[in-house]
Chain A
């Protein structure tokens, strides 16, 4: 019995060292000790002392408690010693929590998890948690990624993971700020490409159908053209270009045509884009000041705001506007 030797050593020790003796007991029984074994090893201790000792050990995090099915099929409490390496001083207490936090963060995958959520799920205090997180960051276990949705919100994820596009905003976000100048530039360039394609098709062909078809372009073509232009520092995907082309459709400047694949062919239906000429020139209402007037609803025949007093009409007629 391996227990015999240590027992003999510890026998004449006083109360304060119950904890030490239990630790030693645990060290021997790596699978865990139960109350019965402790009782046997410390016949002089009563249950109160044993319990206090165990509680202290638990609090300082030197042992853990878990349940297991005992021989008599009754659940039994077992006490096991915690790994030495990670229980050095007060940091030992943090160990358990760190593991928990790490677990929460890794569960979040590449979407990351917000600091408040970590706090809720781990039940740790704010300063404690912050220290933990900082610690882990310095150890390069986790990293903080700023979300584009809310500028102040930071999400944490495992160090090696690529943040998801919903947080970073994908190609359009530069330093977590929406790069609308970039989006505008791309918008203009795509439009210009389609404009030139349409103009050259008109020149090259005389019959109208050929002119119309010559002006068509696929998303791939546009993508190729933009990449060749080299205006983008980051790599753009065809989907990114499709997003830009969609904004041009929403601008009413181009049109999308779906060419249905011929029956029996293996190709999918293609999406083609073509420049759209305007249906009408600017409408008449917007050529007079009343169209853009911010106070039009308050304008009456007579009064402070009326055609007679209107500053915009006056300036417009005088050619200033």
Chain B
């Protein structure tokens, strides 16, 4: 590279080659090819923090306790329930957190109905009953069992006792996976006005519908 100039000139170097004892073929690195540092040294340093007053110290403790309380509360959602792989010695002395998780019962009147989890009692609890029903051969028994089944499901549907509901809901969630979601979708449609709106009478034709958010092809 050295000596190559624009055009045909055989220009000299800017420094004295002999004095530096550079042989032919030596690599001369150009200065300044390194990227600038990611964290350049600070010109102005931050001012030190003010000393915490006792009031501020109590507020820090308050905050940490409050946050801890929240983490233990039913308002903190995790994907799966925590499983302790190894039983620890300290477990004997710590209270069972699981019990508290599902304790919060919302006042459903303040919320949209869709947020209330649906009960699958009619279908899920029906299964073991059917099995039990199959075991008995007598038709009378079957009929009476069917009657009982009807009565029990009606009773369960009517009684919206929240405590039971929460436990059963938990069981349902454990047992059913995707199936429940699809059923949810079906029920949700019935509850909302989608069916009414789907077969529209053409009044809203031409309105700008921004996004079609619930296309369900049954």
Docked-complex contact A291 and B46, CB < 8 angstroms: yes
Known A281-B50, A287-B50; contact A321-B39, beta-carbon cutoff 8 A: no
Residue in contact with B49 in the complex, picked from A287, A295, A304, A310, CB distance below 8 Å: A287
Q: Which residues of A contact B40 (CB under 8 A)?
A: 294-295
Q: How far is the CB of B48 from chain A (nearest CB, A)?
A: 7
**Complexed CA–CA distance, A288 and B50 (Å):** 11
Q: Mark A282-321, 1 if CB is under 8 A from B, else 0.
A: 1000111101101100000000110000111000100001
The count of residues in chain B whose C-beta lies closer than 8 Å to any C-beta of chain A is: 12
Docked-complex contact A294 and B42, CB < 8 angstroms: yes
Docked-complex contact A286 and B46, CB < 8 angstroms: yes
Chain B interface SS verdict (over half): loop
Q: Which residues of A contact B39 (CB under 8 A)?
A: 295, 305, 310-312
Q: Which residues of A contact B50 (CB under 8 A)?
A: 281, 287
Docked-complex contact A287 and B46, CB < 8 angstroms: yes
Q: How large is the interface on A (under 10, 10 to 19, 20 to 34, 35 or more residues)?
A: 10 to 19
Q: How far is the CB of A206 from chain B (nearest CB, A)?
A: 29
Q: Which residues of A contact B45 (CB under 8 A)?
A: 292, 321
Is the CB of B137 closer than 8 A to any CB of chain A?
A: no
Docked-complex contact A321 and B38, CB < 8 angstroms: no
Residue from the set B39, B45, B50 with the largest chain A CB neighbour count within 10 Å: B39
Q: Which residues of A contact B82 (CB under 8 A)?
A: none
Q: How far is the CB of A293 from chain B (nearest CB, A)?
A: 8
Q: Which residues of A contact B44 (CB under 8 A)?
A: 292
Q: Mark B34-60, 1 if CB is under 8 A from A, else 0.
A: 000011101111111110000000000
Q: How far is the CB of A210 from chain B (nearest CB, A)?
A: 32
CB nearest to A294 among chain B residues: B40
Residue in contact with B46 in the complex, picked from A281, A295, A304, A316, CB distance below 8 Å: A316
Docked-complex contact A321 and B42, CB < 8 angstroms: yes
**Complexed CA–CA distance, A236 and B72 (Å):** 73
In chain A, residues 56-92, which have Cβ atoms closer than 8 Å to a Cβ of chain B?
Answer: none
**Complexed CA–CA distance, A288 and B46 (Å):** 6
Q: How far is the CB of A254 from chain B (nearest CB, A)?
A: 22
Q: Which residues of A contact B46 (CB under 8 A)?
A: 286-289, 291-292, 316, 321
A–B complex contacts, Cβ < 8 Å, 16 sampled: A286-B46, A286-B47, A287-B46, A287-B48, A287-B49, A292-B42, A292-B45, A292-B46, A294-B40, A295-B38, A295-B40, A304-B38, A305-B38, A310-B39, A312-B42, A321-B46
> Which residues of A approach B to under 8 Å, CB–CB?
281-282, 286-289, 291-292, 294-295, 304-305, 310-312, 316, 321
